[in-house]
Each structure stands twice: as structure tokens, then as C-alpha cells.
Homo-oligomer: A and B are copies of this chain.
Amino acid sequence: MGRRVSMPAAATVLDAARQAGLGLLSVCGGAGLCDSCRIRVIRGDVSPVSPHERDTLAAGDLAAGYRLACQAKTLGDTVVDVPAESVGTEQRLQIESDLPALEWPDGEDSLDASVRAIDVEVPAPNLADLRSDVTRLRDACRAQTDRPVGAMPAAVLADLPRALRDQQWKARLALGGDRLVAVLSPNAALLGLAVDIGTTKIAVYLVDLQSGRTIASEGVLNPQVTYGEDVISRIAYADRTAGGAGTLHAVLVRALNDSAARLCATAGVSVRAIVDAVLVGNTVMHHLACGLPVAGLGRAPYVSVVSEALTLPARDVGLDIAPGAQVYLPPNLAGYVGADHVAALGAVGLPAPGRTRAVIDIGTNTEISILAADRIVSCSCASGPAFEGAHIGCGMRATAGAIERVRVIGGAVRCQTIGGTPPVGMCGSGVLDAVAALAAHGALDRHGAFRRDHPLIDSRGKDAVLVLASADASGQNHEIVLTRHDVTEIQLAKAAIRTGVDLLLAHAGLCAAALDEVVVAGAFGSYIDLASARLIRMLPDLPADRFRQVGNAAGAGARQMLVSASRRRAAERLAARVEYIDLTSDSRFTEVFAGALGF
């Protein structure tokens, strides 16, 4: 993460992290009684493993360098890796992705952006020189640069006379190939917009195309949630309501325009300096953003209108950016494996030769790919919105007050909330932790039913619950509890994901142990405790160091494609290689799914 801090000798890594302003999780408060502050020592001199760490961490993890940050004391210069799962949500919202951005040192341009700048000085007209504005601009480019200008969209022409005259006939031209995208003021920065449209959340990044630097970013709620929580209900709304598709398109585009305007205001730049854009999203979001019909995605055999990469005029999409800008959308793989997964695969990259990697992008819909030898197999599974906190009695989105970590310490349930405020409800990672804690402590039978006589379970007549916070302790004056129903939601979700992983492995002719790396991506996937996920068998039981949480990989991929045309071509080549597996038409599906439900 690049943070450095000087500490007195024998300070703990947790102290150092706090000093560095890095919000490490610490459910037990630094007492060594839980594993929420797990870190990994890469090199340096640290104190020996404590008895608490021997109790809490598996022998293999210890051997791989995993430690508890509250126990390991730095005795000299030390380099420590902080897994995403050990960092609090607030902190992670700033980190966004652990994948490397494509950046160039100041002054050293990317030569690979799709839209690039040329500077020209145009002679003013007079009675002896009656050339049109366009002709004089073309002539000046030919004379002063080695890049003749080709097509000029009418919307750019409409602004040309004003720009040339306001700027005393000097201009920085943004060219996409030889196409005139915008006429900017001299020395203006060329900006790009990368957008990852999730079913629930939208991530928007404002990027400097010349340096590759992200100059502002934000996450906003997808306003389409008002019209349906998941893609199926969105399709139904688009298809069965008069003007429904238009409404879904309009509210989405308005949210994107509002966000772009906010980011530009923050950065002190004009939205008209945004000369390129990349949009990624699942196939339904992709189609709704482009104004394409989604009816085919709601009916067997679930075919999309278009799967190839698209480059569309931003005006046609409805984006209020530079009038001649285009929007690039990477290819979709199938009806339920979208351009966002292609972007994520592109950002993660191909595994080293001979190595096998799974990429699991967890969300309301979960996409999984296995990259092995010469094959890439991909599938999609309906994991549902439980991980977003929906359909859970006390569920909520991952915002301040949401319980994000749950541990049983000394027989008592301990919780950590986002922002450290009194608990308001549980977000997905908290629910997952709670279910895992019950399973780990023998409070669930193998079907997921509560053992009513277990000390963690509060039996109330015919109901039984796990109490996470009493009405007194909560910030809402009501109890926060986990019910049998909530466990069922998590069971369905984790079974869906595990079934996807196992059937993909079968299609690739591999066993789980053959996976050298498991990359867990996506908003939710980055916040979960991987140990909990393995414990409830959502993920295969592999050594901890084979897992990697990379945050919003789709957003990272979108940003890479924004600043690099060769990344676009690479994503297209990758997409062409993918074998899509339709899980529901696999005869083993029901059996594998049933097996994956239990604990």
C-alpha cells in the first residue's frame, strides 16, 4: 500500500498501522483474542510468535508469515503486507483496488491513450483569407503537426468558432485517431471517465489521460434500484412497463452525468475536458446504458443483443462530456457474464505460464473464471443480494454503523462496526462472519438449523436467534439479531458460488487443489473475511496465501482501458478466448448445489 511510518522500538504493527492512519480491523481491541487484524510479514525483524497467535492462526498460515498485528512487535525496519480483509470498510473505500493503476511519471505521456492532444495556432480570417474555420484549422494542423485531422462531428463544429475566437486562435485539439473530439484551451488537461456500473453501486473515476492518474473518484448508488433490486426485476420493469427501458436508461445516465459534474467540480475542471470514457457493467447494465433492449436477457436462451466491444458517440449514450467524445464498452461474454468481468480479468491479467488461477467477482450476480493452461472457462451464478445486506432481517448496506466483523471471544459475541459507531445493522461481511462463527462453534447443524441448546443461541419460544447487539447497545434502540431465515439466505448464496467454482473446475478437468491463486474481486468480495468464507465452504479450503482480494477489479480494468488502447485490444482478445459454461444446463448442477448448501 506504500505507507511508511517511523515507530519507537517494540511498537506493535497495529500501533504502526494506527500511526499511519490505516484502519486495521481489531474486533477484540488488540487483546490477541481474535484474528481480525491478520497481516503478513514480508521481511524485517519482528518479535516471536505469541501463544495467542499459536491459538488463533493455522500452522500453515504462520509458516507463510501471517501474524496478528496486535501481537507482532517491530524490532527493526519491517515490511508488512496488509490483506484487504484486515482493513475496515471506510479505509477500503479509499483504496478501492489493490491492482496496479497504469500511471506514467509526470511529463512522460502515455503513448497509448485512445485520445491524444495536439496544439495548434490558427491564422485569423480577414478579407484576403475567407477560408472557413474548419478549413483553416485543417490547414494549420497539416502545416504545424504530423497529424492531419479527419472527421469532425457536428457537435464539435458547433463549438469551434467560439473556442477559436475566445482563445485568440490557439487551441489544444483532442484527437481520437484522426477524429476531432474536442477543441480545448491551450494547455488544458485531457481527462477520461471510467465507470463501473454495478447492479447496486456505481464507481466513477476521473482520470488524467496523459499521466494515467485518477484525480477524483466516488461511489454512488445505482438509482435503478428503485425499479428493482436485481437484474431480473430490472429486466421485468424495462420489458413490461411502458417507457420502462427509457426510464432505466435516463436515471442511470443522469446519475453518471451528475457524478461526472461533481468530480469535475472537485477537481476544478470542465466536464467538456472529458474526451474519452469507458463503461463496464454486467450485460443488463451494459444494455440499459446503451439504450439496448433487455427482453432477450430475461428469457431462455438468454442471448444478448451484442457481445462485441462497442465504441459509441457519448452523445448517443447521453453523456454530457466533450461533444465529440466516444464511449468504449468492452465485450460481454454472455447474457450473465458482462463487460465488467472482462474488465476485471483484464486488470488481474493472465496467470504466469503453468499456473492456474480462479477469479471470483462477487456481487448480486457472481462471475467466475478459471484460467488454466490454454483455457479460460467462465460462468455466472445468481448469488443474490444477501451480501449487499438485502433479504437479511437486520441487514443493511456497508455504511457507518453496519456490523462488518463478528467474532466469538471467550464465549461472547463481539462485533466491529464501520466507523466504530454503535451498531445499526449488519452488512454482508458481518452476516457472513456471524454465520461462520455459529458454524465454527457448533451452534448450527449441517443443514443450517440452530442448535437451540447451544449457549450462543437465544431460544424464544418457537424462535431462536443469535443476538449480535442488545437494544441498549445498538444505535437504533432495537436488538440486532441473526435468524434461521438469514442463515438460509447465506446458504443459498454461498452454495451458488461454490457450485459455480466446482462445476467450472470439473469443466476444466481440475480439482480445487490445482488452483494456485484465487482472486476475489468485487465490492462485497473485498470486504469479506476469507477465513469465514472458507469455513462455511463458500470458497475452497486452500491455504490463505493462495487467496488475494483485489477490490473493484472491474473499475481498475476500466481505468486501464481508458488510458491504454492496447489494454482494450488485450481485453477483446481475452474475451474471444473465453468458453462460457451455462451452469443451469449442466446435469450435475442440482446435485452439486444441494451438496454445497450444508455446513
Contacts and interface: CB of A to CB of B under 8 A. Distances in A.
Interface of A: 125-127, 129-135, 152-155, 157-158, 160-162, 290-293, 295-296, 300-308, 310, 312-313, 315-317, 332, 334-335, 580, 582, 585
Given A154-B291, A296-B133, A305 B160 contact: yes
B127 A307 contact: no
A233 to B, nearest CB: 20
A304 B132 contact: yes
B582 A134 contact: no
Nearest to A294: B161
Contact of A130 (B126, B135, B292, B301): B301
A306 B580 contact: no
Contacts of A313: 313
Contacts of A155: 291, 316
A132 B316 contact: no
Nearest to A327: B154
Given A130-B335, A295-B161, A332-B132, A154 B290 contact: yes
A316 B154 contact: yes
A134 B291 contact: no
A260 to B, nearest CB: 19
A583 to B, nearest CB: 13
10 contacts: A127-B300, A130-B301, A131-B303, A132-B304, A133-B305, A134-B305, A158-B290, A160-B305, A161-B295, A315-B316
Given A135-B307, A292-B157, A305-B161, A334 B130 contact: yes
A329 to B, nearest CB: 10
A134 B303 CA distance: 10
Given A161-B293, A290-B157, A293-B158, A301 B127 contact: yes
B316 A134 contact: no
Contacts of A153: 312, 316
A580 to B, nearest CB: 7
Contact of A301 (B125, B301, B312, B317): B125
A585 to B, nearest CB: 6
A133 B317 contact: no
Most B CB atoms within 10 A — which of A155, A295, A316? A316
B161 A296 contact: yes
A597 to B, nearest CB: 26
A307 B132 contact: yes
A135 B334 CA distance: 12
